A and B are shown apart, each in its own frame.
Chain A
Amino acid sequence: MQKNALHILLADDDEDDRLFFKDAFEEVKVQTKVEFVFDGLQLMEHLMNPDTKLPDILFLDLNMPKKTGKECLIEIKKTEHLKNLIIAIYSTSSSDEDIEDTFIEGANIYIKKPSDFNALKKIINEVITLNWHYHTSGLNRDNFLLSLK
């Protein structure tokens, strides 16, 4: 069972957000394995470690100490064995600048952290069931920001 579980990695320095994230995944019906890193430096160390099994989806917070999410994104996209990693930006900010920048740097989707737990569950459901191949090939500025119907 564990073998087929979806491997999720969240990089977020906020303890509460990690808690919400973990709880939401536990309530999601799909088999998942969720791991956490606490800042950008730790994330990059983790990803660069040859023993690490790369996650299926990386949820990346932007506002992190030591190394910001944007810096991590740029580094990942520059690294040969990481550049195809699916990256979901997961941030409080909804500023046009942040959305535009991460789109240009090659993130796959932009998720604004919701202020409702049920909404968070819905988003996670949406993201893990997304056909990434289909989504990525048709990615544009309009569908980059995830919006729930």
Chain B
Amino acid sequence: MKWIPKFNSSNYLRVIFIIAIFILLFLSSIAYKHNRDLNESSKLLMHTYEINIELERLISAIKDAETGQRGYMITRNHRFLTPYLFSRDKVNTSFIALKKLTADNPEQKKNLEKIYKLIIQRYISFENCLKYSAPETYDKRKLDNHMFGGRILMENIRFKVDEMNDIEKTFLNKSLKKYDQEISLGPILSISLFLVALIFIFLAYRKISRDLERLKIYNKKLLISSGLMAESEAIGKFSTWQWDLDTDKIDYSDNQFRLLGFLPNSFVPNKDSFINFVHPEDKDIIAASIEGIINNKELPFTYYKIILPNNEIRHFKSTGKLLVDQNGSNILLGINFDITDEHLLNIKLQERNNELEKSNKELASFNHVASHDLQEPLRKIQTFISRISEADKAVLSDSAKEYIIKVETSAKRMRVLIDDLLLFSRTNTTKKEFVKSNLNELLENAKSELAVIIDEKKGNLKVTAKLPKLEVIPYQIEQLFINLIGNSLKYSKPQTAPQITINCEEVLSNEYPEIMEQPFKKFYKITFTDNGMGFDPQFKDNIFVLFQRLHSKTDYPGTGIGLAICKKIVENHKGHIIADSEPGKGSVFTVFLPE
């Protein structure tokens, strides 16, 4: 499942979003606090300002009273007294306001009380001044005293008012300073935090768009591979299905419908729809295998038949597996193969095999007939001839004697033929036990087997390269050597001592077209070169055919089986044998044996 891309960006995105949200929350809480502090400070400012105004009002009301009094004292006109009379109310109003404003500040409250006392004294001094300036009660000295006292009182009031103003101002400055310290986040930091949040959001956006891009590519790939899958299912005659065990939903591939003889998606498959197609003989197998796949999580190859809607019987092979996906749901995946063609081919092959086995059995019984039944009458002919004594022969005519000799020769030849035929068929039918053998030893055995003939013909055998050790059927290779050397000895030139050279070399199969198609790379090429009479090269293939003879049997007795046996033996060893010759000069027999 390597090809599934990893989309782990959801975690990545989550982290980015959380960070961005935290930054924004932080920024907004700072802004909120900032705002609140601003509000507080403006309230405070307002408060100071109000106290300031109210105090000024107080002063101006007293001054109004002072001015009015002075005007009256100079002009004695009552009109000038009006501001003086109103000033008391004004002073009271201001006082109430100030009392309210300073309610939370005990120090200011105390100051205010002092001012209050000073103002009362000031009014008392006003009254006294009015009293001693009146013509009826005029007293210059007292008036001067009170006027001067009023002046000092006024200064004291002013002083106190200034003091109060100063206290307010200091308090204001202190508070403002505190706020300034509290809102330590400067605008640059806020902006950079905001920018960081923005960058995070941008990163998230980029990641999303990249994933989308990748998703698009994988989607395309998925589309292509599902198309390929559908195509290969159709060509390969197989189909797939999925069964979600949790939701009980079954999906067939398009070809599954086709293999069942329907158009794709022409019905909605369910648990029982497939079993309905299965041949009644095999329903139990399929039911059991569905049980098995759920229990064992795997379905070994199951073979069964199904019946198509047109009553055609098809042979299926199925396998499946239980998968648990990322979300933990159990999904059965299955593949069905339509193996009808294979099955029919197999049946044909089986029939051929049976035929072959039958013919092999016939061959074996022929073997028995040849070895026993055919030999028996022959043996009797020979025995009866051997019973004709010399005395019997003496009374026979010359031609009768001749005939008896001919019967004897023919019987002998018949025996050789039967023996050779038996040897040939045994080369084919007996057990083929391959044993690692030293071919040099086998060659020595062959030489000693032929010792009499070699001696008789004064033959000379020369081995120019050592033979290898190979996995062979020892007695067959020995037979091969006997036949090839025997052949060379037999067809030697008259009056010339037979000279046979045996050579061996390692070759690669691709250098020789004869052995190119063999599944082995390396071969041993063993050559038997003689100086015999040779043969016409046009017969170089024919000489290996059973009963094919190039010479009359009177010149060279033989059955035409020896080289056919050689070919058979070499074929048993997955090798190859070829012959070549130049008449009058000699022949070369080449044996290729795989390593």
Contact = CB atoms under 8 A, between A and B. Distances in A.
Interface string B339-364: 00000000000000000000000000
Given A115-B378, A115-B415, A93 B383 contact: no
B371 A94 contact: yes
Contact of B386 (A96, A113, A116): A116
B2 interface: no
Nearest to B430: A96
Interface residues of A, number: 18
B372 interface: yes
Contact of A20 (B371, B376, B383): B383
B383 A114 contact: yes
B415 A93 contact: no
B379 A117 contact: no
A42 interface: no
Contacts, number: 38
A86 interface: no
B371 A95 contact: yes
B372 A115 contact: no
Nearest to A94: B371
Nearest to B376: A92
Interface in A106-141: 113-118, 120
Contact of A63 (B372, B379, B384, B411): B372
A115 B376 contact: no
A62 B125 CA distance: 174
Contacts of B415: 115
A2 B372 CA distance: 37
A45 interface: no
A115 B415 CA distance: 10
A117 B372 CA distance: 19
B382 interface: yes
Contacts of B372: 63, 92-93, 95
Contacts of B380: 16-17
A35 interface: no
Given A14-B376, A92-B376, A115 B371 contact: no
A118 B386 contact: yes
Contacts of B141: none
Nearest to B374: A92
Contact of A120 (B375, B383, B430): B383
A117 B375 contact: no
B387 interface: yes
A141 B368 CA distance: 22
Contacts of A14: 376
Interface in A1-35: 14, 16-17, 20, 23
Contacts of B379: 92, 113-115
A113 B375 CA distance: 10
Interface string B218-242: 0000000000000000000000000
A117 B386 contact: yes
A74 to B, nearest CB: 20
B555 to A, nearest CB: 26
A115 B414 CA distance: 12
A65 to B, nearest CB: 13
B363 to A, nearest CB: 14
Nearest to B419: A94
Nearest to B375: A92
A143 B382 CA distance: 26
Contacts of A114: 379, 383
Contacts of B376: 14, 92
Contacts of B430: 96
Given A16-B380, A92-B376, A117 B371 contact: no
B476 to A, nearest CB: 14
A93 B376 CA distance: 9
Contact of A117 (B368, B378, B387): B387
Contacts of B382: 115-116
Interface in A83-97: 92-96
A92 B372 CA distance: 6
B383 A116 contact: yes
A114 B385 CA distance: 13
B425 to A, nearest CB: 11
Nearest to A23: B387
Nearest to A93: B372
A96 B387 CA distance: 29
Nearest to A120: B383
A96 B426 CA distance: 11
B66 to A, nearest CB: 160
B213 to A, nearest CB: 79
Contacts of A94: 371
B416 to A, nearest CB: 12
Interface in B381-405: 382-384, 386-387
Nearest to A113: B379
A113 B371 CA distance: 12
Nearest to B381: A115
A116 B380 CA distance: 9
Contacts of B375: 92
Q: Which of B379, B383, B386 has the most CB of A within 10 A?
A: B383
Contacts of B383: 16, 20, 114-117, 120
A17 B384 CA distance: 11
A17 B377 CA distance: 11
Contacts of A116: 382-383, 386
Contacts of A113: 379
Nearest to B378: A115
Contact of A93 (B371, B386, B411): B371
Interface string B419-436: 000000000001000000
- Across the A-B interface, give the 5 residue pairs with the lowest CB-CB distance, nearest first: A115-B382, A115-B379, A117-B386, A116-B386, A117-B387
Interface of B: 368, 371-372, 375-376, 378-380, 382-384, 386-387, 411, 415, 430
19 contacts: A14-B376, A16-B380, A20-B383, A92-B372, A92-B375, A92-B376, A94-B371, A95-B372, A114-B383, A115-B379, A115-B382, A115-B383, A115-B411, A115-B415, A116-B383, A116-B386, A117-B387, A118-B386, A120-B383
Given A14-B376, A118-B386, 5 more contacts: A16-B380, A17-B380, A92-B372, A92-B379, A95-B368
